[in-house]
Structure 1
Amino acid sequence: MKKIAVLAGIALFVTACSEAEEASVENSEVQPEVKAMATSAAPDAPASAAQQSDMTYGDIVYGSPDAPVEIIEYASLTCVHCGTFANTIFPTIKEKYIDTGKVRFIYRHMEGNRVGLAASTVARCGNDEETKALVKALFAKQSQWLQSQNPLDGMASVLLRYGVSRTKFDRCLSNTEMHKEIVEQSRHGTDAYNVTAIPTLIVNGAKADDYRLEPLSKMIEDAL
């Protein structure tokens, strides 16, 4: 699992995202200043009406609200282990448990670097179903855009295939209200569940020890 440090300052992230080394912060501990992030993270200028209408706010939710088991995942789009979960484990969980009404699955952001913040922001560049498709695409093409010379350009290239023009991409990227929301989700993961590594999965309020398919499936079955 990837150790995380939540970003303390976001205002400079757009200019810094061209530095590819920011994309992989593997070994830092969560910093105490996380509790002040939500109020200090972004400029005071509110998001424009166009920015607001372009984007999806709140949790990314799969499955029925009446499902007996609720799983909350805290993850980062720059986390390789999170990509492994998204690409190889989540599809089975979705088919076996979510689509059959047994599990309600909630995805929340836990970002620890500026590139991750950028990725999570532009992944929200659409309605609910479009956002799910963009998150899936960014995880599927993670190595491609994350290792590119300019990760922002790499993200834009991936999302262009899903109908996100560069103009829309840049507009979404500059949405400071979304920056604050992502920071708040990250802070909540630390405060509510003591998330220190990702991916972290919370099954009916209990933290899973292992995100691999077999132990996670057992935990779900035990909760049913």
Structure 2
Amino acid sequence: MLSLTGLAALAGFSPLRFISEAMAQSAADVAKPVSLPDMALGPKDAAVTITEYASMTCPHCAAFNEQVFPKIKSEYIDTGKVRYIFREFPLDIKAAAGSMLSRCIAKDDAAKYFAVTDMLFRQQNDWVVKNTTETLTRIGKQAGLTQQQVETCLKDQALLDKIAADQKYASDVLKVDSTPTFFINGEKIKGEASFEEFAKKINPLLKS
């Protein structure tokens, strides 16, 4: 069974809130990958970088993934205007398991990683509420892993510890305490924002 050692005080997180709070944050602090390589779409030299912290069991994160992210991708990422980084911030052990599976399937392939997280978000009700192990195993097999590889992945304490270290950095340094949380060139946005709210933040940065 996976240990919760190192996960950043999961029980102490504040409830998810529908708020948008802009806070100044060092872009250099946000840009720093701690333990795991960043999974990112879009050019490294894009004028705007968006970093999302999400939990795979967070319903607001799933709603954002389905309703808002596709518009950001088509309008800004696919056109080379924005670099989009997704970072794990698991609020519970099931979310950590989902993040671990995504990493094991994708390895260093960011496009595959985003495809797997999209699948996990869209099937969230199936694997979070019930049949967690069975559903994660099925998703892993669909992505090309064997059952043994899925089981090995979900028991990988070293991978869990790296996810925990990244989460601790986000909590301690960036003051992330709920999901989803976004940083747009270092400016923090808390909560499930609309596409229009993102556009209002992104467009002026593209003109500067």
Normalised-by-shorter TM-score class: 0.7 to 0.9
Q: Please state if 1:178 is matched with 2:159.
A: yes
What is the RMSD of the two structures over their aligned residues, measured on CA atoms? 2.0
Q: Deviations over 1:25-74 (max 9, x none)?
A: 8x8436xxxxxxxxxxxxxxxxxxxxxxxxxx421111100100011100
Q: Please state if 1:163 is matched with 2:157.
A: no
C-alpha deviation, 1:132, in angstroms: 2.4
Which of 40, 43, 58 does residue 61 from structure 1 map onto?
40
C-alpha deviation, 1:161, in angstroms: 2.0
Q: Please state if 1:72 is matched with 2:28.
A: no
One-letter amino acid matched to 1:219: K
Q: Could you tell me how far apart the structure 2 residues matched to 1:168 and 1:28 are? A: 33
Name 1:100's counterpart in structure 2: 79
Gaps of 5+ in 1: 1-8, 14-24, 31-56
Which of 10, 16, 19 does residue 4 from structure 2 map onto?
10
Which of 90, 107, 113 does residue 131 from structure 1 map onto?
113
SS at match of 1:124: helix
Q: Which moves more between the two structures, 168-177 or 206-215?
A: 206-215
Q: Could you tell me how far apart the structure 2 residues matched to 1:74 and 1:94 are? A: 17
Q: Please state if 1:191 is matched with 2:185.
A: no
Gaps of 5+ in 2: 15-35
Using the aligned pairs only, state the percent identity.
31
Q: How many residues align?
A: 176
Name 1:112's counterpart in structure 2: 91
SS at match of 1:223: helix
Q: Deviations over 1:185-216 (max 9, x none)?
A: 21121122211111000000000255221111
Q: Could you tell me how far apart the structure 1 residues matched to 2:177 and 2:138 are? A: 31
* 2:42–2:78 Cα contact (<8 Å) kept: yes
TM-score (normalised: structure 1): 0.72
* 1:68–1:102 Cα contact (<8 Å) kept: yes
Q: Could you tell me how far apart the structure 1 residues matched to 2:190 and 2:101 are? A: 30
Name 1:153's counterpart in structure 2: 134
Q: Could you tell me how far apart the structure 2 residues matched to 1:140 and 1:163 are? A: 19
One-letter amino acid matched to 2:137: A
Q: Could you tell me how far apart the structure 1 residues matched to 2:104 and 2:13 are? A: 30
